[in-house]
Chain A
């Protein structure tokens, strides 16, 4: 069974750093892209970026380029999303999801349960 299990909720202060994780199991972790999606409180889904754990090829949405870092450790089947200096506006739920592709399209077929990040002084 394919599973993406994310790390637990975090409460941080502005200016602090943070790294959240997404551990894949039940499939070949290095063969599928993993994407990250932000959902601010009461708002919609925002695409942040994506990584291919096989070679760590990483692509960012322009809105998030330079704001976060996406990485992966294929030896432990885990993808990461990190911030060097959090802001209150980073308060959100963050989802990881596996990118699956058919012959005609790609889509996010499996999702983690989400990690709630709260940034408050």
Chain B
């Protein structure tokens, strides 16, 4: 079956622009996660969605970051007024339920010039 997919695979943008990153989880997975992998920072949790419950946004680094998940499936991570420190690989994962094995997409490499 299809795994987690993300688009675009690469995104180059200018400082101050808004970007949207998309994640399609594995069909039937109720839990969806966003992580960020930066050089020198390692991997960090951003946000978690579980079914129709309110998401855990505790990992979002600033109010410029937001995410939504429509219909319990596709998720979009939006970064407003991008800064150079936002440059990273943004990874999406899904799992069958909370605390189950997480499966990752290939990531979106974001470069802010």
**Do A and B actually bind?**
no
